[in-house]
Structures are given as structure tokens and as C-alpha cells.
Structure 1
Amino acid sequence: MRGAMLLLAVIIAVTSGSRSVRGECCYPTYIQWSADNCWPFRSQSQMADNIERDLVASLMLPTRCEAKVCNDGRVHPGAYCGRGRCNLFGCNCEGGCIPGEPVLNFRRLNGIPDDKSFK
């Protein structure tokens, strides 16, 4: 019994260290826009899994482009937008999240005008 209590005390001491924990999560922002050409980004037709739906969409709708970007407006490798290592859920990244406004920065970097075709 005494050994179990000692082990429990050691576990609590190790896991409750003086590190500060920030609950900030660093997820990318999903954006869409209309364009004649989506390169180097993906279009919805490239994401479609149904050929008929893709054909109808291409005949009736403008090309819808899409990307997942971080706050600096760039697509980064990996699933999250932290400056440093993040936990499994993309939170508590060592250097916090990449700062900025994702949509505004994406527009500036890619020369996309500020109009209603961009969400």
C-alpha cells in the first residue's frame, strides 16, 4: 500500500510540473474561391468522387478552388499550424500558432482580388 502511494505521488509530481499550458489550438482555415485556374491549389472537381457530378458541376458552375491555409496565408505541410511541435490534437504548440489573418494573407500572396467569389 505504501509503495502504491509513493508511486502515485511520483506520478503526480512528474505530470504536474511547472510548465505552463496554453489551450490554444492551431488548426488551418479551409477557404474556397472561384477562378479559371486553381493551380497550384486543388479544385473541387479534383476532389469529387462521382464522375457524373463532376461533369454536371463543370458544365454549370464556375471552377471552385480550395485550400487549407495557416494564418500566414500559406499551405504548410502537416495537419496543424503551430510554430513548433503540437500535441496530437494540434493544441499547445511550443511556439504558439502561426500569427496572422489567413484569408487576407492568402489573397495578398496569390493576387486574388477582394470580391464576393471568395469565402
Structure 2
Amino acid sequence: MNLTFPATFDNFYDNRDASLNSVACSNGPAGLVNRFPKLGNLPGFPYIGGAFAVSSWSSPNCGTCWSLTYPQTGVTINYLAIDTSGVGFNMAQGAMDKLTNGQTRSLGKINVIAKQVPAASCGI
């Protein structure tokens, strides 16, 4: 089922040298840090960030993959959920730039059509 969600950006997720210990999906049963110590080690970087589905530390939804489409451009990316977001998605600027054809700064917030897809689609 495709649903529409708000999407914002945070440049923290663009820092390839940032430790995964800084996000909700760091350690614990659903943690990713042992396989991917830095954000830049994640498959699909910089198409990463927070997602509404990750409700807390070590959520079972850590590492879920989402197909996100920005209807205004028709661009779709596969996005890896590694952190909490509250409502919608909070992504790397690089991810939003891809969706918006480089218009992240001028738009700030967009609405995307989201559908969960197999984790393998994000390289997990």
C-alpha cells in the first residue's frame, strides 16, 4: 500500500564519517553498528535517515527499506531507515536532493509517496 508522508532533511545523515552509535538503530538486537560502523558504510548512502516506522532504540523496524517517490519530479529512491523520525521521514540532504532535482534548500519539506520494500532493495 502506498501512503503519503512528509519528508524533511538533516545534514547529520550526509556525514559519511558519523558513527552509527548516534542513531536509534545503533546497537541492541536490531542494531546495525556492528556491520556498518559509520554512516558512509551503509549500503545506499546517502539515501538514509529517520523513518516514522522506527519508534525507538533498536526498533524491529531498524534497517527497513522504503521506496520513496516525490510526485512532482517522478523520482524514486530506495531509502534505508536507521533512526527515529516521529512523522514521516527525516533524510540526508543528498537523498532529498535526488528526489527534488537539487531543490532541497528552497523547498525544505516535501511530501513523498512511501511503500515498504524488501530490505534487500537497500542492500541489507
TM range (shorter): under 0.3
Structure 1 length normalisation: TM-score? 0.23
Higher-Rg member (1/2): 1
Structure 2 length normalisation: TM-score? 0.22
Higher RCO, 1 or 2 (CA under 8 Å, sep at least 6)? 2
